[in-house]
């Protein structure tokens, strides 16, 4: 029997995966449930398990190749099959697969990488029209922190999410590791994309970065959306920052990550594995320590940019039960302030629908 091994779908948002490495080679025996290859998506990295036993006869996806969900990765044969029979199965599969995919699936969005100022930056560009919105993640995060926000907001306008330097798949080396360096990376991306003026939305440290951009280049910022933002008061959970930065295994990392959410069940084993994989990348440890020392030395916020708020139309969103940065930092700001009761620090993920509605309504009210 000839079996087709295809790109799995992990989660509703997954549209494609990148082949990392094949754990089996043509001619190897494969047992049902055995890991055959590793695949990375924008959200998770995991192994593809064989749903059947047999011999891996063909490998049809190359390392670093990005393929849509359902695409043919390999052929596993149980028993006997000629090369011609395998060729016929491949041809038949590909013909049916192409014809059954919609054009949107065929040209599904994927993150891009560019080099600006000698540094690699990754970004995801969705939607079109209106004044673009740029999403800036927080400390230790990446563009996938906006997984449940970017597609929804892109229904109305162009929305761009990036990995800040030291994070995600952007370059890890930092020079000063201060807010200005991160701000300059955002501005360099805007220059590359030829965007003169954008709305900025920042979460946590990304809020501080957005405030810094607004201070450095006010004419380029049409509005600010600050979600559980740093830069609006001295208090921050220094124990979390230290614990997260130093954690090098699941047992050390889990108590830190559960502080981010109002529902600790959201901190899954996969999330922990993905975060540890990121933290073990070359240069990440140094980058996080640099940022922590520059921005939050001694477990306090070093920068106060409250006076920047209100120079552009500003929306401030906070989880009422935020355990990282207290929601009372929103008091007294010249902004539309929305406190979401019972929500934690990752409010844009846990209360995505509510946050998306607030942002969309706010942006629509801007000229």
pLDDT at 96 (0 to 100): 81
Residues across the chain: 367
**How confident is the prediction along the chain (367 residues), in pLDDT tens digits per residue?**
999 999 987 655 678 888 989 999 999 999 998 989 988 876 666 778 898 999 999 999 988 899 998 899 999 999 999 999 999 999 999 888 764 444 444 445 688 999 988 899 999 999 999 999 999 999 999 999 998 899 899 999 999 999 999 999 999 999 999 999 999 999 999 999 999 999 999 999 999 999 999 999 999 999 999 999 999 999 999 999 999 999 999 999 999 999 999 988 888 887 898 899 999 999 999 999 999 999 999 999 999 999 999 999 999 999 999 999 999 999 999 999 999 999 999 999 989 889 999 999 999 999 8
CATH architecture of 2-106: Beta Barrel (2.40)
Which pair of tokens denotes residue 280? 């073990």
What's residue 85's pLDDT?
95
Q: Where are the domains of the chain?
A: 2-106, 112-364
CATH of domain 112-364: 3.40.50.1820
Task: Report the predicted TM-score, pTM, of the whole model to 2 decimal places.
Answer: 0.74
């Amino acid at each position: 029997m000839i079996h087709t091994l295809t790109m799995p779908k992990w989660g509703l948002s997954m549209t494609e995966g990148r082949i990392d490495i094949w754990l089996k080679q043509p001619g190897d025996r494969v047992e049902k449930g055995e890991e055959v290859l590793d695949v990375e998506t924008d959200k998770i990295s995991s192994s593809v398990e064989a749903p059947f036993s047999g011999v891996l006869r063909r490998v049809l996806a190359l390392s670093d190749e990005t393929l849509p969900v359902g695409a043919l990765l390999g052929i596993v044969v149980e028993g006997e099959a000629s090369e011609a029979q395998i060729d016929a199965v491949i041809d038949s599969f590909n013909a049916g697969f192409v014809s059954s995919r919609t054009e949107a699936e065929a040209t599904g969005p994927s993150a891009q990488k560019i080099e600006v100022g000698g540094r690699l930056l990754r970004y995801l560009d969705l939607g079109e029209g209106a004044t673009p919105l740029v999403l800036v993640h927080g400390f230790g995060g990446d563009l996938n922190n906006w997984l449940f926000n970017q597609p929804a907001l892109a229904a109305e306008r162009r929305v761009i999410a990036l990995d800040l330097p030291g994070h995600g798949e952007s370059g890890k080396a930092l020079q000063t590791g201060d807010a200005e360096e991160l701000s300059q990376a955002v501005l360099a991306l805007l220059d590359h994309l030829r965007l003169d003026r954008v709305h900025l939305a920042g979460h946590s440290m990304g809020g501080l970065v957005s405030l810094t951009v607004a201070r450095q280049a006010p004419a380029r910022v049409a509005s600010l959306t600050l979600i559980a933002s740093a830069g609006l008061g001295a208090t921050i959970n220094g124990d979390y920052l230290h614990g997260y930065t130093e954690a090098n295994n699941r047992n050390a990392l889990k108590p830190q990550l559960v502080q981010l959410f109002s529902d600790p069940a959201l901190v899954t084993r996969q999330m922990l594995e993905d975060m540890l994989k990121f933290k073990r990348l070359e240069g990440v440890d140094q980058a996080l320590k640099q940022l922590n020392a520059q921005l939050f030395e001694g477990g306090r916020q070093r920068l106060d940019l409250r006076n920047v708020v209100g120079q552009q139309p500003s929306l401030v969103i906070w989880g009422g039960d935020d355990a990282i940065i207290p929601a009372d930092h929103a008091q007294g700001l010249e902004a539309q302030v929305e406190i979401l009761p019972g929500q934690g620090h990752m409010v844009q993920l846990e209360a995505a629908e509510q946050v998306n509605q607030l942002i969309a309504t706010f942006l629509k009210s801007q000229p």
